[in-house]
């Protein structure tokens, strides 16, 4: 039963990878198409009519509003983008099915070793990307996110795969559900923030007169807007990360007898927390807004990835749950 379910899980994951690959291609084609479109007229900021107020008596008053929001060029959503996003959603559904099946096969949450964690983390990253669209239109990050998901799943299935094995006693705790899940959510928001910051840096250079050839950037928000978006996303990630740190400490107290012991994983979680704390402060520090704070967000996300891969595999410590032979 376990073997059957885990093989179905793998089939779903491989299918998700194939669909993500097409989504990635479509998102890339969309970016290419944006290059051709970027000369489209730009909407002007002006006094906008928000609506007309009417009275029972029939007289009307006009409610007007100065549109102070940054100018975002209007453009028609390309067919490529629509197809790409639909494929991303399809791939994500397969991805979630694969991840859930793995959990059912193991009879527990699917994030107890590095292979399972790559499945779950990338599913949550793509999921956050999909659902964040309801709040902010960040579809221009599609190529970055699907590419990221594809690489994570690829490395996960090829390099980190382990068969379903029972949980060692140290992991048998409900904190596994809470601590790791929240860490994954935090990672997802940091991933999107990192992507926005990368584009912000490139956009900033274009605005400074470099990269004239990268015309598709003209269809994306300006650097300042990207910085604001990145900040809003990273701040959510930071809250999750803070919670991860505390939940991890409580669990460490239950399992290892101390809430903090400078274990290598604890050290890196602390380093990441500190980098993002720095990022948030940089927003309020003169001379640190703009590209410097963007670099901090990118370094922070790089540290998150480093913590997941290099620290797990090559550093000695108590968090040795990769499940891989050492």
Partner 1 sequence: MALPKLGFVGTARFIWRQLTSMRTALLLLLLLAIAAVPGSLFPQRAADPNGVTQYFAANPSSAPILDKFQLFDVYTSVWFSAIYLLLFISLIGCVIPRTMHHVHALRSKPPKTPARLERLSAFAAFDLPAGETDAEGKPFTAATVVESARSMLRKSGYRTQLFDGKELSVSAERGYLRETGNLVFHTALLGVLIAVGIGGSIGYTGQKAVVVGQSFVNVRGAFDSFNPGRLFSDDFLQPYRLVVNSFHAKYEAKNLDALGEAIDYTANLTSYGPNDPGTKQVLKVNDPLRLGGNEVYLLGNGYAPKITVRDAGGKVVFTDNVLCLPQDANLTSICTVKVPDGLKKQLGMVGFFYPTASPLDSGAFTSVHPDLGNPLLTLRVYAGDLGINKGVPKSVYSLDPTGMTEIAGGTATTPALELKPGETATLPGGYGSISFENASPKAAANDLSKSVKRFISLDVHSDPTQGWVLLFASLAVLGLLTSLFVPRRRVWVKVIEGEDGTLRIEYAGLARGEDPGLDAAVADIARRHARLLGLRLAA
Map the footprint of partner 1 across residues 67-86, applying CB under 8 A. Answer: 68-69
**285 makes contact with partner 1 (CB under 8 A):** yes
Q: Kindly tell me which residue out of 11, 147, 253, 313 binds partner 1, with binding defined by CB under 8 A.
A: 253
- Say whether residue 257 binds partner 1 (CB under 8 A): yes
Q: Is 137 in the site for partner 1 (CB under 8 A)?
A: no
Q: Is 116 in the site for partner 1 (CB under 8 A)?
A: no
Is residue 63 near partner 1 by the rule CB under 8 A? yes
Residue 51 beta carbon to partner 1: minimum distance, rounded to whole angstroms: 5
* The total number of residues written for the chain in this structure: 326
The CA distance from 280 to 231, in Å, is 8
Segment 265-284, which members bind partner 1 (CB under 8 A)? 267-268, 270-271, 274-275, 277-278, 281-284
Site for partner 1 in 201-240 (CB under 8 A): 228, 231-232, 235, 238-239
**Burial of 325 from C-beta contacts in 10 A (0-12 / 13-18 / 19+):** exposed
Residue 243 lies near partner 1 (rule: CB under 8 A)? yes
Residues 321 and 173: beta-carbon distance below 8 Å: no
Q: Tell me the sheet residues that pair with 194.
A: none
Instruction: Convert 9-41 to b/e letters by CB count within 10 Å (16 or more is b).
Output: bbebbebbbebbbbbbbbbbbbbebbeeebeee
Q: Provide CB contacts within 8 A for 216, sequence distance 6+.
A: 31, 32, 34, 35, 38
- Shortest Å, Cβ 156 to partner 1: 18
Binding flag, residue 7, partner 1 (CB under 8 A): no
Distance CA 137, CA 72 (A): 11
Draw the binding track, 293-312, toward partner 1 (x: CB under 8 A; -: no contact): ---x--------------x-
What three-state secondary structure class fits 214?
coil
- Residue 321 binds partner 1 (CB under 8 A): no
Q: Judged by CB under 8 A, which stretch of 24-32, 72-80, 202-210, 254-262 contacts partner 1?
A: 254-262
Q: Among 72, 170, 305, 313, which residue interacts with partner 1 (rule: CB under 8 A)?
A: 170
Query: Distance from CA of residue 14 to its chain's centroid?
Result: 21
Q: Judged by CB under 8 A, which of 36, 53, 71, 86 binds partner 1?
A: 53
């Amino acid at each position: 039963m376990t073997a059957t379910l885990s093989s179905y899980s793998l089939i779903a994951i491989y299918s998700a990878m194939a669909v993500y690959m097409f989504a990635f291609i479509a998102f890339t084609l969309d970016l290419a198409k944006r290059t051709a479109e970027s000369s489209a007229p730009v909407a002007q900021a002006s006094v906008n009519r928000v609506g007309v107020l009417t009275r029972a008596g029939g007289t009307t008053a006009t409610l007007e509003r100065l549109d102070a929001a940054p100018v975002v060029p209007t453009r028609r959503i390309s067919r490529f983008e629509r197809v790409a996003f639909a494929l991303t959603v399809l791939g994500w559904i397969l991805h979630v099915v694969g991840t859930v099946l793995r959990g059912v096969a193991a009879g527990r949450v699917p994030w107890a070793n590095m292979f399972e964690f790559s499945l779950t983390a990338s599913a949550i990253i793509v999921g956050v990307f999909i659902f964040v669209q309801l709040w902010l239109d960040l579809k221009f990050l599609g190529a970055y996110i699907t590419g990221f998901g594809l690489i994570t799943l690829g490395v996960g299935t090829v390099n980190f795969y382990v068969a379903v094995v029972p949980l060692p006693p140290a992991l048998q705790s409900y904190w596994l559900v809470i601590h790791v899940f929240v860490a994954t959510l935090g990672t997802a928001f940091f991933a999107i923030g990192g992507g926005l910051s990368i584009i912000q840096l490139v956009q900033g250079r274009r605005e400074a007169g470099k990269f004239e050839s990268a015309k598709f950037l003209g269809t994306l928000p300006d650097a300042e807007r990207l910085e604001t978006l990145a900040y809003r996303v990273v701040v959510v990630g930071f809250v999750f990360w803070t919670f991860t740190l505390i939940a991890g400490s409580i669990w460490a107290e239950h399992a290892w007898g101390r809430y903090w012991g400078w274990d290598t994983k604890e050290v890196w979680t602390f380093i990441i927390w500190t980098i993002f704390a720095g990022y948030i402060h940089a927003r309020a520090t003169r001379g640190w807004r703009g590209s410097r704070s963007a670099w901090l967000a990118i370094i922070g996300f790089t540290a998150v990835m480093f913590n997941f891969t290099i620290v797990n595999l090559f550093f000695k410590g108590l968090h040795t749950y990769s499940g891989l032979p050492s």
